[in-house]
Amino acid sequence: MHCFLSQLDANGLSCRPFPAWSSSPLSSLSQANIGHMDTPKELWRMITGNMALIQVQATVVGFLASIAAVVFGWIPDGHFSIPHAFLLCASSVATAFIASLVLGMIMIGVIIGSRKIGINPDNVATPIAASLGDLITLALLSGISWGLYLELGEDEATEGL
């Protein structure tokens, strides 16, 4: 999720998945504006490359963020709960992967749609990514965590808390 589960911005901590335009050094928005996405072959090459990179980033950083959260939760308390760590790690990685996939597809649609109707994608994609990123990520995180918590069972998930 950017894939930072907790990102510090002007409003405090927030959850933001990687938007589709942040995955490559020369962004998809810039590529769209300079004409490198004019043919279907170039378009699909750009889409598949960016989506693959986004998914790898989301999975790796989601896992690293969950490990950091487990360590920072363990340090003050002095005890470690394996079921709690698995719940946190699984929730984080699943949320990062799904949120990045959904937001990546939305951003691809926005960029392609903006180009087709003649609007600059830079002016449309950024506000959509900023507003939907937090909403989708938090909804997914709460739903996935709740579902995994119920699957794990209340006794195992709260053991050691």
**Phi, psi torsion values for 17, nearest 5 degrees:** -75, 165
Residue 39 pLDDT exceeds 50: yes
Cβ–Cβ < 8 Å for 5, 92: yes
Range of the domain at 62: 4-157
Number of domains in the chain: 1
How long, in residues, is the chain? 161
What CATH number is associated with residue 53? 1.10.357
Q: Answer yes or no: are the C-beta atoms of 121 and 32 closer than 8 Å.
A: yes
pLDDT digits (tens, 9 = 90+) for 58-79: 999 999 999 999 888 888 878 7
Structure token pair of residue 47? 């889409």
Residue pLDDT, tens place only, 126-161: 888 888 888 999 999 999 999 988 888 765 555 555
- pTM for this model (two decimals): 0.70
